[in-house]
Amino acid sequence: MTRLSVNINKVALIRNSRGGNLPDLVKIAIDCEKFGAQGITVHPRPDQRHVRFDDIPKLKYAVTTEFNIEGNPTSDFMKLVIENRPHQCTLVPDPPGVLTSNSGWNTVLNQSFLKEVVANLHEHGIRVSLFVDADERMVEAASQTGADRIELYTGTFAHDFYTNKDLAVKAHKQCAFLANNIGLGVNAGHDLNLENLKFYKSNVLPLHEVSIGHALISDALYYGLQNTIQMYKKQLM
Ligand code: PXP
C-alpha cells in the first residue's frame, strides 16, 4: 500500500496572504484526514511564508494519522522537530529562500553531517527520511547515514513524463529496487499529479508514501477537497 500524505503548505500560503486564520490550517488537516488522507505533511521554511513554526504544535495535537515535517535541519528546525516529535522527519537540503525543493541531498558529501542529524532524531523516536535524487550512489550513501527511508525527488520525472515516461521513471525504479534491498523504505514527492501518479506508483516498487501538495490543492479548486483526495487515492490503488 502507498500512503497519501497531503502537503498543506499551499493552504497556509493562502491563509498568510490575508493575515487572519482563513482557511483554518488545523481544520483543513483534520478534514484531509476525514476525507481519506493517510498523513499530513508540512514544510516550515525559514521565512515562514507557508506553514509557520507556531502552527506545528497545533497540528501535532490535531493530526491523528502520520505527521511528517520536512525541512533543512538548521538548529531552529531541529528544535521545532524535536519539541513536536512528528512520526517522520524528511530532511531536505533547501537553501533559505528557495522557491521550492528542487534537488536532493548529496549523501556522499554530507555523510557525516547527516549521520549526526539522523542519530539525533532517532534518539527522540522520530523516523527519518532523506530527500534524494533518483541516483543509486545517493541511495547507497543514504543507507549509510542510518536513515530509515529515502524520499525520491520526482520533479525531474514529472517534467520528463510528457516526453518519454518509461525513460523518466527508469532511474526511480532502479533506486527503489536498490533501496528495498538495502533496507530503506521509499517515499516520493514533488510535482506528482493526477496524470503521472498512477504510472509512477505502478513502476516504482515498493513505494511506501507519496507527499503531494501543489497539484492536489490546485485540483481541489475544481473538484473540492474531498473528491480530490479520493481521486488521488484511487491512483494509488
Ligand atoms: N517533498 C518535498 C521535500 C517538498 O519540498 C515538497 C514541496 O513542499 C513536496 C514533496 C511536495 O511537492 P508538490 O507540492 O509539488 O506536490
CATH number at residue 58: 3.20.20.70
Close Cβ partners of 87 (under 8 Å, ≥ 6 residues apart): 39, 66, 67, 68, 126, 127
Question: To test the ligand 1 pocket, which listed residue (5, 70, 89) has its Cβ within 8 A of the most ligand atoms?
Answer: 70
Question: What is the C-alpha to C-alpha distance for residues 7 and 211, in angstroms, rounded to an integer?
Answer: 6
How many domains, in total, are found in the chain?
1
Question: What is the C-alpha to C-alpha distance for residues 112 and 109, in angstroms, rounded to an integer?
Answer: 8
**Digit-coded pLDDT (tens) for 35-86:** 999 999 999 988 888 999 999 999 999 999 999 999 999 999 999 999 999 9
| pLDDT given for residue 22 in this prediction | 97
Question: What is the C-alpha to C-alpha distance for residues 28 and 159, in angstroms, rounded to an integer?
Answer: 29
The pTM score is 0.97
Close Cβ partners of 196 (under 8 Å, ≥ 6 residues apart): 157, 158, 161, 165
**Digit-coded pLDDT (tens) for 216-237:** 999 999 999 999 999 999 999 9
Residue 182 buriedness (CB in 10 A; 0-12 / 13-18 / 19+): exposed
Beta bridge partners of 209: 3, 187
Band of the pLDDT at 91, cuts 50, 70, 90? very high
Beta bridge partners of 89: 69, 128
Question: What is the C-alpha to C-alpha distance for residues 195 and 89, in angstroms, rounded to an integer?
Answer: 28
CB contact at 8 A, 137 and 109: no
Q: How many CB atoms lie within 10 A of CB 164?
A: 10
Measure CA of the first residue to CA of the last residue in the chain; give whole Å.
Answer: 7
| Closest ligand 1 atom to 94 CA | 5
Q: Which amino acids are annotated catalytic? A: 43, 70, 190
**223: its cell numbers:** 473538484
**113: its cell numbers:** 553531517
- Judge whether residue 93 has pLDDT over 90: yes
Beta bridge partners of 187: 151, 209
Domain that holds residue 122: 3-235
Which residue lies with its CA nearest to atom 12 of ligand 1?
190
| pLDDT given for residue 46 in this prediction | 84
| Residue 7 Cβ < 6 Å to ligand 1 | yes
3-state secondary structure of 74: coil
Question: What is the C-alpha to C-alpha distance for residues 186 and 122, in angstroms, rounded to an integer?
Answer: 18
- Judge whether residue 161 has pLDDT over 90: yes
Residue 37 Cα to ligand 1 middle (Å): 16
| pLDDT given for residue 183 in this prediction | 97
Closest CA to 142 of 169, 172, 175: 175
**129: its cell numbers:** 527520511
| pLDDT given for residue 26 in this prediction | 98
From its phi and psi, is residue 97 left (phi > 0), alpha (psi between -120 and 50) or beta? Answer: left
Question: What is the C-alpha to C-alpha distance for residues 169 and 153, in angstroms, rounded to an integer?
Answer: 11
Which residue lies with its CA nearest to atom 1 of ligand 1?
189
| pLDDT given for residue 167 in this prediction | 98
3-state secondary structure of 42: strand
